[in-house]
Every structure is written in C-alpha cells, then in structure tokens.
Structure 1
Amino acid sequence: MITVLGIGPGRASLRLNGSQKWVDQADLVIGSRRQLDAFDTSQATEKLFTKLSELKTTIDDWLANGKNVVILASGDPILYGIGNWTIAQFGRDAVRLVPGISSIQYMFNTVGLSMNDVYLTSSHGRVPDFDFLLTHRVVGMVTDSQIGPFEIGEAIKKRHLHRTILVGERLSYPDERISSYTESTVEKRDYQMNVVIIKDEG
C-alpha cells in the first residue's frame, strides 16, 4: 500500500494529528530532505525525491515485496500535489490519501480573504492561460521559478489590466513574508516557496 501523506505548508503544528503514525507504519518513506527531517523515520528506509520515472521503479520494487510506502506531500496531496501522479501511476485502490492544509488555504486564511468561487491553479511546469485566468475575480496560484509573481505582473500589464497581487513566501515558517503589489510594482527577484493571489479590485 502507498500512503500519500499531506504534511501542510510547513509548520509542525499545522499538520493533522496522527501524521507520525503513518510514518511509523512505513517500510519506505519518500520525501525531500526538509520533509523527511520533519518526522522520526528511524523505523524506515528514507529515500529522497528523484525523477518521477525512477521513483515509480523504486515504489514498484518495494510494493512487489509487500512493503508499505509513504510519500510525504507538502500541503495537500491532491491540490496540485504528488497524490495525483501517484493515483495515475498505481491506481486508486493502491493509494491511501491523507489530507493536509495546502499553502493556498493557509494564504487565504492569513490575509482574511474568502475562498468561495476562487479559481485555483498552478504554474509548475506549465504556462498558464492568462486570458482565461484573468477573467476570474480572484485567483490562487502556486508558482515556480519560471512563472512567478513578476511574470504574472508582466502578463497583466500586457493585457492592459489592473490587479492586486499578494505574494506569500515561506508560509507558516518563522521568516514568513506576505507582500502586496500591483502589476506595476511587483519586484523582479527570486521568490521563496511562494503562493500568489491575484485579485480584481474593480
């Protein structure tokens, strides 16, 4: 059995109670170094995330030997998370999903903005359809180094629109930073582990 364990945005107090028990039952625990360090994995073998093709081979081998595998997932496993890939590769019956608080949820709660009717998306490994995206009043987006806050601002300017851009970095950590920009003021810099809210104030 594969368990994809949502571990929230980062801070330990935001993980669901009982998260450690899934790790305790695992023979193999897969995650980033930061994720693995958040748990006591002394009873299991650790494996750092690799290419997905290599990851599938590793998991297949452990499952073939009747072992339990836990994959640590930042945020929630199926909100632009690795849970979707895991189900696609191994089938729904082979996968247990344990939810977590997503960074998008955390961001909206922190700034006190309703999530009702929000359009949620991600720019990880994809180029967003900004013409479609910017028809929505409020958008929540997980971004990457290719399409981040600055590039979003440029896309808004290109369409001669005006939006408020809220950027949350390292959410829930002691050095959490939340900044407010417009498409004209958003900085061109490296953003750390960030979530963006795009809001039409008109």
Structure 2
Amino acid sequence: MEYYITVAGIGPGSPDYLLPAASKAIANASVLIGSRRALTAFSRKDQKSYVIGSDIEGVLAYIEKAVAAEDVVVMVSGDPGFYSLLAALKDRFGSAKLKVIPGISSVQLAFARIGRFWQDALLLSMHGRRADDGALAFQPGKKMGFLTDGKHNPAFIAELLIKLGWPPATQCWLCENLSYDNENIAALTLEEGSKVTGFHHCVMVVSDE
C-alpha cells in the first residue's frame, strides 16, 4: 500500500484561520508533525507526534521511517508554498509523494489588516536569510512584504532600505502576532521604523504609494 505525506498549512496561528480541509487532515492524522506551538494547539494524546526543531534532517528521517508504514501529516505555519518545509520535503520525497493543503499566509493577513492589495507586491523573506540589494532597491510605486527575524528585524530592514535609496518618509507597517489576541500593528515611516525596538518575527509591509 502507498502512503503519503500531507503538508497542511495552518495559517497565521489562530484556529479561526485554519481551513476546514487542513482541520480535517489534522484531526484524522495518526502521525502528526509540527512546531511545538502547533502540536500544543492541534494534536491529541492518541496521535503520534514529532516536533519540528532546528534539526531538519532529523525531521525528514523521522518522516521517511513513518511514511513507510502509514500516512503522515506535517503542519506548517502560513501557506506551505511560501518559505516552509515544503521545499525540503519535495527535495527528499518528490512531489508525487506529497499532498498539499494551502493555508492563509501571515503576509496575506498583514495586507488584509492594513487594507491593501498585494497582487503587485514583491514578497520576500528575511527570516534566516538576507535578500539581495537588487531586489530591495527603491523604485517609485514599489511595494514589498517581508517575513522578519530577530537579526533581520524591522529596524534593520528599514535602515537598509533607506541606504538603498528609499525615501525616509516611505510608509511601512509592522504586523506582530497576527490572528492572536495580542495582535499588534504599527504604522510608521521608514525613518521611524529604523529606530523601533521589538517586532521580531513579524510581517513588515513597505509601500511607496
């Protein structure tokens, strides 16, 4: 019998933003894999579970062993197609072995919260990586959405963008804890953003409109 790996996007965090298809897959899973936070929110005691941590090779090895005997559900935050474990799973197991359930990206929710469309936005991740200067360079009317981290935080990004020619008065939004009770959104200029503290692991939107 052939077994499969279902990669389920769980959205920005709150169960309110979990799609029914993902909820059904998670509820029916015998083997459930995800971050500690996701497993705390969605797993049951009768399910086998494995925490996704920094050892990605260890996660993939566990999945490889488990999927030889039964189906596996892997929960990823946001949408699987946007900077998630899906790329590593595809490289290891191939697309034919995967079933992907989309989710609501935190970037998508950030644009919704500030009432802006994102069809023309350049979407980048500065979470654990550094976008190249060519992608970040200023162009009139340009719009960008970022995933950030503790090192490449909004203050770092704002200062970098100003150095790359963005007007200091350009508007930006810092969107933290999206979908949770402690959600926090700040509307600032890049100059103000370059001095802000906190807002690590948030979504940053920058728009020259």
TM-score (norm. length: structure 1): 0.92
1:197: which partner in 2? 205
Q: 1:151 aligns with which of 127, 152, 156?
A: 156
CA contact (8 A) 2:154 2:200 kept: no
| Structure 1 pair 85–130 and aligned structure 2 pair: CA distance change class (3 A) | same
Q: Which amino acid aligns with 1:185?
A: E
**What is the SS of the residue equivalent to 2:162?**
helix
| Structure 1 pair 131–164 and aligned structure 2 pair: CA distance change class (3 A) | farther
Q: What per-residue deviation string (whole Å, max 9, x for no partner) do you get for residues 40-82 of structure 1?
A: 4233111111311111111111122x21111111110111122
| Structure 1 pair 18–161 and aligned structure 2 pair: CA distance change class (3 A) | closer
Q: Which amino acid aligns with 1:191?
A: F
- What displacement does 1:16 show? 0.7
1:125: which partner in 2? 128
Within a 5 Å distance, the mapping from 1:43-82 to structure 2 comes to 43-50=46-53, 51-64=55-68, 66-82=69-85
Identity of matched residues, %: 31
Q: Which amino acid aligns with 1:61?
A: K
**What is the SS of the residue equivalent to 2:175?**
strand
**What is the SS of the residue equivalent to 2:205?**
strand
Q: What per-residue deviation string (whole Å, max 9, x for no partner) do you get for residues 138-197 of structure 1?
A: 001111112110011111222342122211000011110111222211134232430010
**What is the SS of the residue equivalent to 2:100?**
strand
**What is the SS of the residue equivalent to 1:81?**
coil
User: Quick check: 100-109 or 12-21, which moved more?
Assistant: 12-21
* Runs of 4+ residues deviating >6 angstroms: none
TM-score (norm. length: structure 2): 0.89
1:164: which partner in 2? 171
CA contact (8 A) 1:29 1:69 kept: yes
Q: Name structure 1 gaps, 5 residues minimum.
A: none
- What displacement does 1:24 show? 3.1
1:113: which partner in 2? 116
Q: Paired residues, what number?
A: 200
Q: Which amino acid aligns with 1:161?
A: W
Q: Name structure 2 gaps, 5 residues minimum.
A: none
CA distance in 2, matches of 1:42, 1:188: 42
Q: 2:42 aligns with which of 39, 44, 60?
A: 39
